[in-house]
Structure 1
């Protein structure tokens, strides 16, 4: 039963990752800021970091149960 709950938590996390990295969302952050730099690298790093932290949280929580 533990494997099923882990899978049910990882599927929405995977869908969130797909949402984070779809081209329409990426194009929103590819616009230049007032200083001429793009927000895309910052967004990519933040989205990647959020996914890693959420994955670690889900996996560690599943080991405790």
Structure 2
């Protein structure tokens, strides 16, 4: 059985990840990225895919970080 401190810390980190994801995908942030000057490719698809990859990567890292111990 895991100590209470480890479980609450993991919960806090996951809640922080949700807050980061909400900030990354909030409409004002998407509008700012969408209005950046585009040279050849628009910045919105690049931003959305990279932000989504970061959120997925952080979630995977947080879920597997303590599995080895």
Q: TM-score, normalised by structure 2?
A: 0.80
Q: Does 1:64 align with 2:46?
A: no
The list of structure 1 runs, each at least 4 consecutive aligned residues, that deviate by more than 2 angstroms after superposition, is none
Q: TM-score, normalised by structure 1?
A: 0.84
**Partner residue of 1:34?**
39
1:13-59 per-position Cα deviation (integer Å, ceiling 9, x unaligned):
11000000001110111124033x42111100000000000111111
Unaligned stretches of 5+ in structure 1?
A: none
Give me the whole-angstrom Cα distance separating, in 2, the residues matched to 1:45 and 1:8: 25
Name the count of aligned residue pairs.
Answer: 64
Which of 25, 36, 39 matches 1:21? 25
Give me the whole-angstrom Cα distance separating, in 2, the residues matched to 1:47 and 1:12: 15
**Partner residue of 1:46?**
50
Q: Which has the higher contact order (CA 8 A, sep 6+)?
A: 1
